[in-house]
Structure 1
């Protein structure tokens, strides 16, 4: 028997990557807990829908035995895509949702989280566990949490996202600024609140491009929508702009000025936004990053290879990381955690570098002249 099964594994972060890994490890007899800073699974609002790809997100769910649950919860038709110009004119439409070769089904984050949580053994996830520090303890770790709890684990896996607190224990390599800042907003009950945009959305996604800017709108299964502007800005624009993003009037004024040559149709989103706007400068890990593998700590998802969202690979990469890491832990060729982690990190870093390169090219192209044609070529050729 693989001696890694005798190890106590702690996963920090209950996102799709961390939960997928926990499921895959438990299926194979590993002892694992997931520690999540949220107080419970409904502690914060869920973002946009996720499109899962055959070779990554869906492959992980298939290995986890969860495809039936997924098929019962995904949103048929939510992958309908409209590419429009800044005046709201539809320039390309992709409604071929029955094309299995291009099958990238959409699922809301909430239902995906529930599928994964329900698949785990009882009390696997320890909520209200805000990570503070790791301390070496012989060949294992003591993990300290904000609530005062201290737990011991033989292996620690960072699945704690873009601002990972565990990553610095592995490498000091930091992300670089991509050149683009996103402003995120949400609208509840979009059918009645923003009827024009709801009609244009048609239950799927809108990609609007023009004047070296983007505006992406995504429907959700609860009748709400989320939207994201993308603009080329200085790295510190959020602070230097002086905008209070919790003040709707200030954000509307910014949008009117920044998107002054866009049709007023888009104002409907900002005037009816239900929550405070969230500015998000977009970062990416260096494409050539590497580090010396450690014997008892590693990372997956954004913690390992943060990148902008403009290739739709984030959640898929995290879930594929979980699949590959679990396979390395299960593989009898690797009799030590160090060997398993080294094998995983080697292939993960190579794959992440290639995907980040593609993502950065896409990020630049979608915020440059000719963005509409670039996007049509990608989606039309999918």
Structure 2
């Protein structure tokens, strides 16, 4: 009798399911299903959203500049959808108000601790930092500062922020240095132009002084020649002949050419449009009939801009010829023509 009951008990243990074991299996299955829908699937969705689009996708998808209307009224699911779209379109941290980081942080404002948004911000931080670095390299400093502040809201302790701030400061200093160098170069150029103008003016003054000395020497030489000729002429005359009184020609043996008709030079159209001014030194001959010939340019500033106008004008000048002892003579003169716009 005892053996029969033992046999029945063993058969019941082999064929029947223990209720405790069944309960454990049900709980494990339920936990696995919950983990799939609550943890694994959202994480995979975030990872897919965090992966940058391929080059072909970047070319085919255009960036949306206008943010969705009334972002605050969007639900968490709608914000996550907008964030995934922004990630696919490479709008990580820009433009302002319409980028993935701002959408994910808005999700965390509505639902603190949301695993999808938190994981996405953590996974995409490095990509957002890379985009911000490109903005710094493009020297869009205001936008770069905004993006750095946005990254700091997502992960204020991340060491990458220190690197980005250092790069932004270095780029700003580099731009300031380049701008200062440009200003210094411009000042140096202006100083060089001023020095060149001063040197040209000094050269012109020296040339004018040398011309005046040459003319003075010529007059003195003519006076000496006239003085030497006068005693010989007096000695050749008969003793009884009275000594003639000196004439005005003897007192002033040489008289300078006097300008009687001056033609103003034409202002070149190109120089007028370019707002250019300058001067031209010309040398020319005044013949015995008072006409001008052999007009040449000695110096000019700027070069070759006003030369032709100066030559054409001087060639039409007319003079009362220079004289020596009352006789017309050919002389060489030098004059400077100024070209000013009359401001």
TM-score bucket of the superposed structures, by smaller chain: under 0.3
Alignment TM-score, normalising by the size of structure 1: 0.20
Query: Whose RCO is larger (CA < 8 A, sep 6+)?
Result: 1
Alignment TM-score, normalising by the size of structure 2: 0.22
Higher normalized helix content (fraction of residues)? 2
